[in-house]
Structure 1
Amino acid sequence: MAIFDYLKLNDLSSVEQEIYRFIVNNLEKIPYMRVRDIADGAHVSSTSVFRFVQKIGFHSFPEFRFYIGTHLENVRQDETKKHIGIEERVNSLNMGIFHPDVEYQIKNMAYALRDSDCILFMGMGASGAIAQYSARKLASLGYLSIALDDLTYPIRSFLRRDQKNVIIFLSVSGETKELIEVIAGLEDKNIVKKYCITLNKKSTLAQQCDYSIEYEIKEERKDIYLDLTSQLPSIAILETLISYLKDFRKDQ
């Protein structure tokens, strides 16, 4: 489990977000730092650091530092575990990691995409690469499908009121700040249907989308903030979705 995966950035003030970012970017140093060191590094007051530590569930700063140190040690132990071969990795992709109604969920999304005039895929990092892959396959089938990993792009230029628009967000955690900001930046959210594929059904992203498809798999990270979680479940969902859309094209 990723550290602080229970936090929602939208629930943090701008000061608390600065503290959060400094801590995440300097995790290896935190067990050896004082409150003042973190305050100086985040350009906030020591009182703000104390309040942040308490807000995220710790009674004291030493307790917080101990938690970080223990978490780092657990990560190091996980990184020394045996290599996972292809058989074990493929066997991990079983129906138990999906919602019991996942086939219905995918088909329901496919019907929405079939009738859409514009389909946008959005994601960052590995999710962004899969967004590109999925958009390209749909474009090959004749759908107007575009993938964007530059989340500052003015996407409203694609979302005309006289057409049916869909955005599919791809995010393992469902807490990708930039994706959440994209939704917040949509002035008229009624002109686009928002879907997401994510590990966390209770995430901020899933809650702000009209529809979500979730899966369960252990998160894998290096240095805490580098996401190495398997994308096989997400790819399986998308390949099934694309298969339905391919069949719809055949029927026309």
Structure 2
Amino acid sequence: MVVSKNKTSPGPTTPSRRVILLGASNLTRGISTVVETARLSWGTPLDIMSALGHGRSYGKPTRVLGRSLPGIVDCGLWQDLAARPRIDTTALVTDVGNDILFDVPPTTVITWLDRCLERLAPVTQSLVISELPLTNIAQLSTARFRLFRTILFPRSRMTLSEVNRRAEELNQKLLQLASRYQAHVVTPVRAWYGFDPIHIKMRYWPTAWAQIMKPWSQPTLVHPARGSFFRWLFLRCLIPHQRRLFGFVQRKQQPAATLPDGSQISLY
């Protein structure tokens, strides 16, 4: 796949549609599939703007393996979005549960999400929000919960019962928020997950993301996105608008890359 990085010329034609993606580890792991699904659903070229990252919070700076990112509500996506021309736009909000393990109260998480949705509502024609995987969390044993808490959130000391309680509360408030903003709500399917209760299994990425992004497809996709290791590697190696890497601040003008079909990729 031949691509250009950090160029202002868009490619064959200027994008006439925009996709905004907000999320954390699931979005990061599956970004190649998500991008391809968006292109299949909405056509090309697209202006794709995404705030994502492992362990990403919607409202507070987070650090994972020496890499620090600002909270999604405070990242550079919003300033860039305001500066870009108005075009048909759709948005996805997912991976909402991370902040629970950061010991952030559900009411605070909802406040952050409300600020994001308040900015998205005036510029989007279709807004999709995915629920928390409550069934998976409810079926966790204490031992399995402690294992994943240690691996994924080593600083957290929350108990399984407290996580369950907060997840239920956050999801209920999320549904109320979705109703207020007239967003499409997608409920995760239990079969998408394996031993890991919060991350979609790789083999289900095409099916899961096609289902999550189904409200964008008219008609419904017949064939889910095909995987591509090189597309995945390329997208994962792009530098976001701003991050701190082992103490050093790194900045990059967005879009970070332009695909051969003219689709632009901006990361925050």
TM beyond 0.5: no
TM-score, normalisation: structure 2: 0.34
Higher RCO, 1 or 2 (CA under 8 Å, sep at least 6)? 2
User: Which of 1 and 2 has greater Rg?
Assistant: 1
Instruction: Give the structure with the larger strand fraction.
Output: 2
TM-score, normalisation: structure 1: 0.36
